[in-house]
A = this chain, B = another copy of it.
Amino acid sequence: MTQADTRGFRDLCGRTGIAVTHQRQVLYEVMQGMEGHPSPEEVYARVRKRIPSISLATVYKNLHLFIECGIFREVSFHHGSLRVEMNDRPHHHLVCTTCRAIADVEEEELGAVIHRSGQTPEKLPGGFLAERFAIDILGRCVACQARNQ
């Protein structure tokens, strides 16, 4: 870790108003060096190489903190549990990043159109065979706006 990196993290904490702790700093650095979409356990395994005594609870707490502060992002903003939908008309989802409520929007109501070269299914980079699109519009529902949360 260079002096510049340390400075960067301290500045980041200053801006977001969180305390600079050793665990937090190492977590941040380790995560910056990871690719893809790691789970808390994967992050924990990596950080333990540098701080063997770190607790999994600390990892969870700081992941949430980093997400709240906008330092990193959560991949799926949906409910933590299985959700099923019966609506078979083409639609997408309004997902509230505060209360996680999900509402449907009809495709035309959304006022957004996806333009693609061909028709699904089609091959995408890496040979991925696309079957359908799902669009989430992330933001804040009226209730949470009113609550000013």
Q: Which residues of A contact B (CB under 8 A)?
A: 31-32, 34-41, 43, 63, 66-67, 72-79, 81-88, 93-94, 96-97, 102-105, 109-117, 121, 124-142, 145
When A94-B126, A103-B126, A111-B116 are in contact, do A75 and B86 touch as well, CB less than 8 Å?
no
B135 and A133 form a contact (CB under 8 A):
yes
24 contacts between A and B (CB under 8 A): A32-B86, A37-B102, A38-B84, A39-B79, A39-B82, A39-B83, A40-B82, A66-B84, A74-B82, A75-B79, A75-B84, A97-B131, A103-B128, A112-B115, A113-B114, A113-B115, A124-B137, A127-B142, A129-B140, A130-B138, A132-B137, A133-B137, A135-B135, A136-B136
Q: Is the CB of B141 within 8 A of A94?
A: no
